[in-house]
């Protein structure tokens, strides 16, 4: 089946019986990310996680904010 990337409109064809195809057919959400967009998002997500950890660490220290 042919799928269109939600982000860059790049059209790719995937195996009809692949996990991705089944997932797209079962749910009516047509959200498909091509490899390059997927990699880009994964990278951003990892960056956000790193930032999140940093913020968590920051929050632990100042306990006298409300005084
Ligand atoms: Zn894309």
Q: Nearest CA to 11 among 41, 42, 40, 33?
A: 33
Kindly report, residue by residue over 31-57, the tens digit of the pLDDT. 788 999 999 999 988 888 787 765 555
pLDDT at 65 over 90: no
As a whole number, mean pLDDT of residues 21-35 equals 80
Could you tell me if residue 24 is inside a domain? yes
Could you tell me if residue 6 is inside a domain? yes
26 pLDDT band, cuts 50/70/90, is confident
Whether the CB-CB separation of 34 and 58 falls below 8 Å is answered with: no
Could you tell me if residue 41 is inside a domain? yes
Distance 52 CA to ligand 1 centre (A): 26
Distance 35 CA to ligand 1 centre (A): 7
Whether the CB-CB separation of 35 and 64 falls below 8 Å is answered with: no
Mean pLDDT taken over the chain: 80
Could you tell me if residue 16 is inside a domain? yes
Q: Which residues is 3 bridged to in the sheet?
A: 12
Neighbours of 32 (CB within 10 A): 21
pLDDT of residue 63: 61
Distance 53 CA to ligand 1 centre (A): 28
Distance 57 CA to ligand 1 centre (A): 34
Total domain count, the chain: 1
């Amino acid at each position: 089946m042919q799928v269109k990337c939600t982000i860059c409109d790049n059209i790719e064809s995937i195996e009809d019986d692949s996990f991705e195809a089944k997932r797209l057919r079962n749910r009516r959400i047509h959200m498909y990310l091509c490899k390059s967009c997927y990699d880009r998002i994964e990278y951003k997500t990892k960056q956000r996680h790193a930032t999140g950890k940093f913020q968590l660490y920051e929050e632990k220290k100042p306990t006298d904010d409300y005084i």
